[in-house]
């Protein structure tokens, strides 16, 4: 019994095949002669020697469809020795035929770069090395797999930098048994690199900043087919880096093919020969590449180095995103291909501040402002808005002027509001208490750099600063209209809003508005022309709720415009009288401006006053607009008496409309007629011919008789 126990205990498991053997040394000799088959590459290797086989394993072999397989071998780095510029089904970006161009909604562009405006490879190397040491907020890949361990990411980044820059000078490609590492999405700070003039002129980029991000890839790296749905991208190599790009348009056929193989390896090898509209292009330090949103692309790194990219959003990109949504293509792609941080409302930065305000229907009605300007005057706009870069005073100086204004006796003229976290105009609370105004104003100043959307928002809606520098009208506007009534006459009017504030759709019915962002302040404006259709929607829904939710998607001719105190962007916006607009504050700060009116604005002002009379509860706004017209008469009409007869007849029509409306409400003379009558007297007082009408008849003194005199308007014009 004891001998059997000893015999059983003497058996040991083999370290290779795990079998229990009584004589391990004899068994090991026979076991080493056996072969095992690799599950990945299907090749045999000595049993127990997988560690020796792993570095040379070629991975799974997938048959490449023709005709790509005849020209492009997508095996382990074999393609690097031969990467032709001309492939079946592909055309060069410089020699695209009409059939290829028709498949692209927005064509890619190859852009020649000036070397003196591009940072050197040494400068970018130092910037990337510094960014890697400061933060691990980048992506690192080794052996085709992404690493999430921070220490491992730093190791991969150092190796990738060495092989892509230093080692590439002596040895172009890595050895077959070396693991290929690369990094991407490295945010580089303090690099002055902007979009070239060509894409800037054709597309108005709508993101707040154009961040430069860098990828580091050694020679021999291949990035399989992927897609960036929401953003356009500008690509530029630094130093000796060279990349060859295979790009395809987001047609229905290409998107269907891509959705069928998402998540599988070697996507280009699987569907490359079936994709349509393909273009091949090489990027170097002297030639960059612009790719529109939705482009399918794969890249081959023929010479290692640093590749920079700037991603931005245009109105055309929003339209492409809307198409993807309608086709329900996004659900077919994993989160890595369509980030939840970017959607069709990307140009309205931080839209989380305004949940439900901007719908997909509204997005479809908006276009890029600069794109429309390039095409000439839009038929729905009589006068287009204008953006410009203006010299302004500092925010610190404005804070000093505001502090003085809050201490003065005129604090009653300052409007301060407290709103909801969403910043809806209808949720605003105002106060008449001087002390409460000061407290709310201090809270508003303290929120300028705050990003907490759950806090109540304090806003200084209007504060006249007589000591501040005046905001003058545009020069080309003053050439057309040398006689302007400006408010405030001295200084400027300031508005202070924190990040996340929203001003609902409104209009300066009788004035031209000019607004300038100061320093960090950044705003996005949605503007619509004062067409008959738009004004009717504005008048019918006045006071019924959040306007952008009710009828924002029904307005026509809308633009989306961004202004920012950033010196690289326009900071001033001039809107013609009657422009309907709403404002999203992306980054809080000072917005200064002024309003002014001209004689040419009188017909529109009278018509909008007539439309406001329908809703009697808006007496304050009507009184304000009548006051504006009165001042316009005093300054403009006296200097331009030729406008007086037409102005008289228009106001007479307004008075007649008010009279009819009040009588229909069983009121002899309503509360609005007083303002309108005083306005009419100012018109008559401004006539250079005294009390004589243009029809050579003496005007009566009484308002009722004046209305009777002007009933036949044509008689007096």
Pairing between β-strand 558-564 and β-strand 366-368 as defined by DSSP bridges: parallel
pLDDT at position 164 over 70 = yes
Alpha-carbon dihedral of residues 205, 364, 366, 230, nearest 10 degrees? -10
Choice between 657 and 219, residue whose per-residue pLDDT is larger: 219
Backbone angles phi, psi at 117, to 5 degrees: -100, 5
Strand 572-575 versus strand 386-388 pairing type: antiparallel
First to last CA, the chain: 132
**What does pLDDT average to over the chain?**
69
CA angle 220, 221, 226 (to 5 degrees): 145
Give pLDDT, residue 339. Answer: 35
How far apart are the C-alpha atoms of 615 and 42, rounded to whole Å?
81
User: What confidence score (pLDDT) does residue 689 get?
Assistant: 33
- Please give, one letter per residue, the 3-state secondary structure of 404-454: HHHHCHHHHHCEEEEECCCCCHHHCEECCCHHHHHHHHHHHHHCCCCCCCC
Could you count the other beta carbons within 10 Å of the beta carbon of residue 159? 21
Instruction: Grade residue 78 by pLDDT with cuts at 50, 70 and 90.
Output: very low
Q: Convert the pLDDT of each residue in 546-574 to its tens digit.
A: 888 888 888 888 887 878 877 667 788 88
What's the average model confidence in pLDDT over 682-696? 47
The encoded tokens of residue 365 equal: 């009605």
Q: Which helix (H) or strand (E) holds 111?
A: strand 109-112
| Cβ 297 vs Cβ 245: under 8 Å | yes
CA pseudo-torsion sign 515, 516, 518, 521: positive
SS (HEC) of 657-701: HHHHHHHHCCCCCCCCHHHHHHHHHHHHHCCCCCCECCCCCECCC
Which phi and psi angles does 431 have, rounded to 5°?
-140, 150
At the top level of CATH, which class does the domain 386-597 belong to? mainly beta
Mean pLDDT within 238-261:
86
Q: Span 322-339, mean pLDDT? A: 51
- Domain 68-332 in CATH 1.10.10.10: no
Pick the range with the lowest mean pLDDT from 115-124, 234-243, 494-503, 676-685. 676-685
> Comparing 655 with 93, which gets the higher pLDDT?
93
Higher pLDDT: 545 or 210? It is 545
- What pLDDT, on the 0 to 100 scale, is given for residue 360? 61
Q: Is the pLDDT of residue 667 over 70?
A: no
Exposed/middle/buried for residue 268 (C-beta within 10 Å: 0-12, 13-18, 19+)? buried
Encode pLDDT of 279-310 as tens digits. Answer: 888 888 888 888 888 899 988 887 888 898 88
pTM for this predicted structure: 0.50
H or E segment and range at residue 109: strand 109-112
Cα–Cα dist 560/548, whole Å: 14
E strands present in 538-579: 558-564, 572-575
Task: Decide which of 132 and 698 is more confident.
Answer: 132
Side-chain-side CA neighbours of 24 within 13 Å: the count stands at: 11
Contacting residues for 186 by C-beta, under 8 A, at least 6 apart: 128, 131, 132, 138, 157, 213, 214, 215, 216
Asked if residues 539 and 621 have their Cβ atoms less than 8 Å apart, the reply is no
Q: Please tell me the least confidently modeled range out of 72-81, 110-119, 672-681.
A: 72-81
pLDDT confidence of residue 86? 47
Domain with CATH 2.60.120.650 in the chain: 68-332, 386-597
HSE-CB at 78 with a 13 A cutoff on CA atoms is 9
Q: Is residue 246 predicted with pLDDT exceeding 70? A: yes
pLDDT (average), residues 119-137: 82
Dihedrals phi, psi of 547, to nearest 5 degrees = -65, -40
Looking at residue 449, its pLDDT comes to 55
């Amino acid at each position: 019994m004891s001998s059997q126990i000893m015999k059983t205990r003497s058996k040991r498991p083999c370290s290779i095949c795990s079998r229990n053997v009584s004589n391990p040394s004899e068994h090991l000799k026979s076991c080493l002669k056996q072969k095992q088959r690799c599950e990945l590459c299907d090749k045999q290797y000595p049993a127990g020697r997988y560690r020796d086989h792993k570095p040379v394993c070629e991975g799974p072999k997938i048959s490449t469809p023709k005709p790509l397989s005849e020209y492009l071998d997508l095996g382990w780095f074999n393609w690097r020795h031969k990467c032709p510029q001309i492939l079946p089904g592909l055309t060069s970006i410089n020699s695209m035929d009409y059939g290829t161009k028709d498949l692209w909604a927005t064509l890619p562009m190859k852009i020649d770069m000036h070397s003196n405006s591009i940072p050197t490879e040494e400068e970018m190397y130092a910037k990337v090395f510094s960014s890697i040491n400061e933060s691990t907020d980048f992506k690192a890949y080794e052996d085709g797999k992404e690493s999430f361990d921070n220490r491992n990411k730093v190791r991969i980044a150092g190796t990738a930098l060495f092989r892509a820059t230093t080692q590439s000078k002596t040895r172009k490609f890595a050895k077959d048994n070396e693991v290929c590492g690369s990094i991407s999405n490295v945010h580089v700070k303090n690099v002055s690199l902007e979009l070239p003039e060509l894409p800037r002129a054709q597309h108005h980029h709508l993101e707040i900043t154009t961040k430069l991000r860098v990828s580091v890839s050694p020679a021999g790296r291949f990035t399989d087919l992927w897609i960036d749905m929401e953003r356009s991208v500008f690509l530029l190599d630094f130093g000796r880096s060279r990349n060859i790009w295979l790009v395809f348009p987001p047609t229905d056929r290409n998107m269907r093919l891509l959705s069928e193989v998402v998540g599988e390896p070697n996507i280009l090898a699987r569907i490359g020969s079936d994709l349509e509209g393909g273009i091949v292009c090489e990027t170097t330090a002297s030639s960059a590449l612009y790719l529109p949103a939705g482009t399918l692309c794969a890249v081959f790194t023929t010479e290692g180095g640093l590749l920079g990219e700037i991603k931005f959003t245009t109105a055309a990109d929003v339209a492409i995103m809307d198409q993807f949504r309608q086709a329900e293509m996004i659900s077919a792609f994993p989160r890595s291909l369509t980030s939840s941080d970017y959607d069709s409302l990307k140009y309205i930065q931080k839209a989380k501040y305004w949940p439900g305000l901007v719908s997909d229907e509204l997005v479809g009605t908006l276009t890029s402002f600069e794109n429309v300007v390039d095409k000439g005057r839009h038929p729905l706009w009589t006068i287009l808005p204008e953006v410009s870069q203006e010299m302004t005073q500092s925010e610190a100086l404005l804070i000093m002027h505001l502090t003085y204004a809050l201490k003065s006796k005129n604090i009653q003229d300052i409007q301060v509001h407290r709103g909801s976290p969403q910043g809806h105009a209808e949720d605003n609370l105002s106060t008449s208490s001087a002390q409460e105004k000061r407290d709310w104003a201090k809270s508003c100043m303290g929120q300028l750099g705050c990003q907490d959307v759950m806090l109540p928002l304090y806003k200084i809606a209007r504060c006249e600063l007589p000591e501040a520098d005046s905001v003058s009208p545009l020069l080309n506007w003053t050439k057309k209209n040398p006689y302007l009534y400006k408010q405030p006459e001295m200084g400027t009017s300031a508005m202070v809003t924190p990040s996340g504030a929203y001003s609902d759709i409104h209009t300066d019915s009788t004035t031209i508005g000019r607004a300038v962002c100061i320093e960090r302040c950044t705003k996005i404006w949605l503007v619509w022309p004062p067409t008959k259709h738009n004004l009717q929607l504005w008048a019918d829904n006045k006071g019924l709720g959040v306007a952008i939710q009710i009828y924002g998607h029904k307005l026509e001719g809308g633009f989306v415009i961004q202004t920012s105190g950033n010196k690289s962007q326009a900071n001033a916006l001039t809107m013609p009288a009657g422009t309907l607009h709403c404002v999203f504050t992306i980054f809080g700060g000072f917005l200064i401006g002024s309003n002014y009116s001209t004689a040419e604005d009188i017909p529109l002002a009278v018509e909008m006053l007539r439309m406001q009379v329908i809703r009697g509860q808006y007496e304050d706004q009507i009184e304000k607009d009548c006051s504006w017209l009165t001042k316009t008469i005093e300054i403009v009409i006296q200097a331009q008496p030729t406008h007086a007869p037409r102005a008289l007849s228009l106001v007479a029509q307004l008075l007649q409309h008010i009279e009819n409306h009040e009588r229909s409400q069983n009121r002899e003379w309503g509360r609005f007629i007083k303002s309108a009558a005083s306005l009419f007297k100012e018109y008559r007082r401004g006539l250079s011919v005294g009390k004589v009408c243009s029809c050579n008849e003496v005007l009566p003194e009484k308002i009722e008789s004046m209305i009777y005199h002007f009933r036949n308007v044509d008689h007096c014009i």
